[in-house]
Amino acid sequence: MRIAAFKEDSLVDGPGMRFVIVLSGCIHNCEGCHNPEFQDYNYGKDVTNEEIMAMIYKNKDWIKGITLSGGDPLFQLNATKEFLKIFKAEKEFKDLTVWMYTGYTFEDIPKGVTILCDTIVDGKYMKDLPPAKYRGSNNQRVMTKYLNTNKYILTIYEEDKNE
């Protein structure tokens, strides 16, 4: 995968301490993008799945899960799916959740990806809208698997109700 950055200790990219994998490449070109340099696929470096898994393994005892962000992880669709299959197959990580941020809407994400994630934050960032819990702008949805099924429900946080 082409990786723009790693964050080993994020508290803002999903619940609990998270290991964040920031993938290079994005075509959404959202006005006010937080990481415009990450839109370029050539930004960053190529990192193997084995190298990423080793980094996660080092942190597994104190993180609640991993988060794929970017850029947009779906810009590297095949690499993202391959990595998530490897991650989900690892018994050592069975208690870690997978969050993914994408500018695509949930309905446009291939099912082969959704079944590998626990939560998906979807939609383009809109700089004129206020932020919301775990989201850059409040138009983005937090779609979470319902009771360990492959069905997703919209998650609404208490803080969001006060908007």
> What is the percent of the chain where pLDDT is above 90?
89
Q: Provide the Cα torsion 137, 73, 109, 130; round to 10°.
A: 0
Tokens of 17: 């301490």
CB 46 within 8 A of CB 24: no
Tell me the domain boundaries of the chain.
2-161
Distance from C-alpha of 35 to C-alpha of 93, rounded to nearest angstrom: 29
Model pTM? Answer: 0.94
What is the fold, at CATH topology level, of the domain defined by 2-161? TIM Barrel (3.20.20)
pLDDT tens, 79-114?
999 999 999 999 999 999 999 999 999 999 999 999
State how far Cα 103 lies from the chain centre.
10
Q: What does the pLDDT look like over 30-43, one tens digit per residue?
A: 999 988 999 999 99
Q: How many CB atoms lie within 10 A of CB 139?
A: 15
Tell me the torsion sign for CA atoms 24, 7, 29, 84.
Answer: positive
